[in-house]
A and B are shown apart, each in its own frame.
Chain A
């Protein structure tokens, strides 16, 4: 496999603030890659340097073996970008909007119109973008990024502001374009999304990559306990602690939760006591990995 993106020791400072502080990663052609991180971690800055919108202070970026900076006309038709802040022409309808963008890439109007259908905006085609809802604008912006069939797609928080239906539908769209061999890079705050879509993720904070790899192996490496919950009042906390060795118990009045690294004996002990009412078992998720790596404090 050839690499679609190769980033080495990339840095960018805004005055004193080191927004991106020496990051390196590689994305293979056809891969689905996610960048995760708290607000202000440097995700957007990284993407913009990779796309060629910002000049890095130091380090190198290469897309398909070419540098995106300065503006590289050979690369531009091959990449599609949805920016975190949507950019639309003023006072144009959704249809005019996507047709205009598509035509910049030589894509015919008919094909552009199809993309309105793909993101479920046919009924909104004649509405001006100022009159679309936030989520509808977001979908239009994604359609504008994808209409010319780019080999490499950058999406900065594509599902922020989308309702659950739109989010799932967009996942299908993204899986579909990825299965056509296109490389997709996205940032997101929804860790279930990253877990479900991405072949590989990088978790960033303070301008650095803390960890990267396939979501499943990051979760496995975290070696976090499984959390078994039952309805409060079925079992006392003290009784629960005696079920097996090394069980951490907490009761918030709604659920009693047992955290254990050996869930099987705990579950069978609960079954023996007929204490399974309201049972739910939750293994560690990417969210646990994320919080473990980046902590729980608010970010600026």
Chain B
């Protein structure tokens, strides 16, 4: 146990004092986030912002299902300052302001942005109709409008990119960390020296695992922290922290890839080349950099075999799509499967020294 703790400390110190490693595991992926986050700031499906002045029972009394549907297209914010609300609509900051006076739903809109105001009007009209039908005792209307943005599955760029790039950063960090530790410790004879000490191999491996998990947590904290800045405007789902289990499973899977690369490679250069060769194409094929929704069928099939796809899509589900942690369970299983197979191969190829 003391062996595990002190080896973890030694590895962590070695990592955090290594500027190159710090750059490539933390700063480099973050640069992508900042760059793309800035470039594609306004692309992707965005909700239409509307204001609600005072109480609007039509909206408030919607059944949960309908409210969720509306929530996908309209971002409703409540205010009690009528004058200010109208001013915001006039300036174009909001698409419309809603007000209910008795049985009348009033939509204040600006003619400046006709597309948005038409959207709002259309949606609200259907709401009013439904409410009327319900009042008339028709519970299952013959015809029903349900509003859904066509971009339903896609997300605003930052929403998509944060989990994608973070997944890629974690994958790269874990792969390189394991591969380079194994190779440099072998080259620098530390492994032989450890072999002469009574520390169990499991302590050496679990030290590497725990350091990698800590690094992944640090990466996540920094990534999410930066993406949450108002400039980028990441909106996390309520249970976003449910991504931690899938993140740990992903770290394990990529650690085992790294251990395998480190077991095969003789030099640090060879180890990083192998690690790059695995993680970089995978990033493109797994939807870490751009969405796979529009990608050809074959690519989507290929991606199913790549651990990064499972890591990234589950992280997106939980962090930004608002899915429950339980939807990541199948992907966690797949990633742990990768881990078991690859670390068994790495263990079979493990060498204490070059000679």
Give the B-binding residues of A (Cβ under 8 A): 51-54, 71, 73, 76-77, 79, 81, 83, 85-92, 96, 99-101, 103-106
Contacts and interface: CB of A to CB of B under 8 A. Distances in A.
A71 B195 contact: yes
B196 A52 contact: yes
Nearest to B3: A104
A228 B63 CA distance: 114
18 contacts: A73-B200, A79-B196, A85-B189, A86-B189, A87-B188, A87-B192, A87-B193, A89-B190, A91-B14, A96-B13, A99-B6, A100-B6, A100-B7, A103-B2, A103-B6, A104-B3, A104-B199, A105-B198
Contact of B197 (A83, A86, A104): A104
Given A90-B18, A106-B2, A83 B198 contact: no
Contacts of B197: 76, 101, 104-105
Interface in B198-252: 198-200
Interface of B is mostly: helix
Nearest to A78: B198
A76 B196 CA distance: 6
A75 B13 CA distance: 30
A2 B333 CA distance: 56
Nearest to A102: B6
B112 interface: no
B5 interface: yes
Nearest to A154: B196
B198 A76 contact: yes
B355 interface: yes
A73 B3 CA distance: 14
Interface of A is mostly: loop
Nearest to B2: A103
Nearest to B195: A71
Contacts of A101: 193, 197
Contacts of B91: none
Contacts of A91: 13-14, 17-18
A77 B198 contact: yes
Contact of B14 (A54, A71, A90, A106): A90
A47 to B, nearest CB: 11
B6 A104 contact: yes
B189 A87 contact: yes
B3 A53 contact: no
B2 A51 contact: no
B344 interface: no
A103 B184 CA distance: 22
A18 B86 CA distance: 94
Nearest to B16: A91
A51 B17 contact: no
B198 A104 contact: yes
Contact of B188 (A79, A81, A90): A90
Interface of B: 2-3, 5-7, 9-10, 13-14, 17-18, 184, 188-190, 192-200, 352-353, 355
Contacts of A99: 6
B266 to A, nearest CB: 17
B188 A53 contact: no
Nearest to B199: A104
Which of A52, A71, A81, A100 is most buried by chain B, counting CB atoms within 10 A of its CB? A100
A103 B4 CA distance: 9
Given A91-B18, A99-B6, A73 B13 contact: no
Contact of B9 (A51, A77, A79, A100): A100
Given A51-B196, A76-B197, A88 B188 contact: yes
Contacts of B189: 83, 85-87
A91 B11 CA distance: 9
Given A92-B10, A104-B3, 9 more contacts: A54-B355, A73-B198, A73-B200, A87-B188, A89-B14, A91-B13, A96-B9, A103-B5, A104-B6
Nearest to A86: B189
A185 to B, nearest CB: 14
Nearest to B198: A76
Contacts of B9: 96, 100
Contacts of A86: 189
A153 to B, nearest CB: 12
A134 to B, nearest CB: 16
Contacts of B195: 53, 71
B181 to A, nearest CB: 9
Which of A83, A89, A92 is most buried by chain B, counting CB atoms within 10 A of its CB? A89
B175 to A, nearest CB: 19
A81 B2 contact: no
A53 B192 contact: yes
A90 B9 CA distance: 12
A9 B197 CA distance: 27
B9 to A, nearest CB: 7
Nearest to B192: A53
A105 B196 CA distance: 11
A53 B10 contact: no
B89 to A, nearest CB: 59
Contacts of B7: 100, 104
A117 B2 CA distance: 23
A100 B192 contact: no
